Amino acid sequence: MTVLTAFAYGIYTFGPPVALFFVTVARHPHEIITMILGAFFWLLALLFASLVWIIVIPLKDTPAFTLPISVILQEVFRWLYFKLLKKADHLLEIVSEDKSDLRKHKIAYVGGLGFGLIAGIVMFANVLSVASGPGTVRSNQYFVTVSAFSTQVMIILHICWGVIFFAGLESKNWLYIFAVPISHMFISCLSLLINLANTPAYFLSFGYFLCVVFVALAFFAAGARPKTLVDFFKR
């Protein structure tokens, strides 16, 4: 039973990104490498954040202090990642054999997927492995459910953030550039309420709302217009 439940949660959370990976990324070697690199950058950001957390001993029990620092670090590393890819851009162009305008957005999306996947694994994989175990007692019966849903929100947002942030930096569009860290900070701080206010309602409702908004924003940031969608379905 627990194993079945764990599978359900796992498929719910990691299903979308893994499906995206196999459908879009897996066939392109350079994109797989880019994705692993994205994951590496996110891990570096997390490493520095946890160093801060380790050093500030009195605030070890609550992540409220480390949280903003971690978000800032993630955005800094996203920016560094962008810089690195920018430098390697012409190599990527050669390797991908893709001269279209969409190429840069594809790379941004792949980077976002790398960020999202590793973030999802770090935040949820251990919960999942405990949930699959012989049995656990939780004060809150919805603990794993909430974690699964929230992690999925974060993964989807990471993918969108990747696309939007890169597009913003590329075109010097300040709206896009600032939308990403601000929304990231907002949603992460909101997640503190899950534990403090003991209700996931705010986080999840805002999270899925933000998902919709940012998917739309990423859609436009990548240069698509409603007409593109119509054309796509007509084809």
- Please state, in angstroms and as integers, the Cα–Cα distance from residue 45 to each residue in 50, 120, 130, following that order: 9, 14, 25
Task: Find the binder of another protein among 8, 18, 76, 122 (CB under 8 A).
Answer: 122
Position 18 contacts another protein (CB under 8 A): no
Contact predicate 150/191, CB 8 Å? yes
Q: How many CA atoms lie within 13 A of 15 on its CB side?
A: 10
Contact predicate 162/109, CB 8 Å? yes
Look up tokens 């492995």; give the residue.
Answer: 129
Q: Where does the chain have alpha helices with state H?
A: 2-20, 29-55, 66-87, 89-96, 102-131, 143-171, 174-196, 201-221, 226-234
Task: Find the binder of another protein among 127, 163, 179, 210 (CB under 8 A).
Answer: 127
Position 228 contacts another protein (CB under 8 A): no
Task: Find the binder of another protein among 6, 119, 159, 210 (CB under 8 A).
Answer: 119
For the CB of residue 99, give the shortest distance to another protein in the complex, in Å.
Answer: 12
In this complex, which beta carbon is closest to another protein, that of residue 73 or of residue 222?
Answer: 73
165-224 residues in contact with another protein (CB under 8 A) are: 187-188, 191-192, 194-195, 200, 203
- Please state, in angstroms and as integers, the Cα–Cα distance from residue 176 to each residue in 83, 168, 183, 214, 230, following that order: 17, 5, 11, 10, 25
Interface segment toward another protein; rule CB under 8 A; list 5-13, 104-112, 126-134, 210-218: 126-134
Position 137 contacts another protein (CB under 8 A): no
Q: For residue 214, what are the contacts with CB-CB under 8 A and spacing of at least 6?
A: 156, 157, 160, 161, 164, 179, 183
Position 76 contacts another protein (CB under 8 A): no
DSSP 25: I
For the CB of residue 49, give the shortest distance to another protein in the complex, in Å.
Answer: 7
Position 229 contacts another protein (CB under 8 A): no
Contact predicate 156/213, CB 8 Å? no
Task: Find the binder of another protein among 60, 205, 212, 223 (CB under 8 A).
Answer: 60
In this complex, which beta carbon is closest to another protein, that of residue 39 or of residue 211?
Answer: 39
Residues lying near another protein in the complex (CB under 8 A): 22, 26-30, 32-33, 36-37, 39-40, 43, 46-47, 49-51, 53-54, 60-63, 66-67, 70-71, 74, 83-84, 87-91, 94-95, 97, 118-119, 121-127, 129, 143, 146-147, 150-151, 153-154, 187-188, 191-192, 194-195, 200, 203
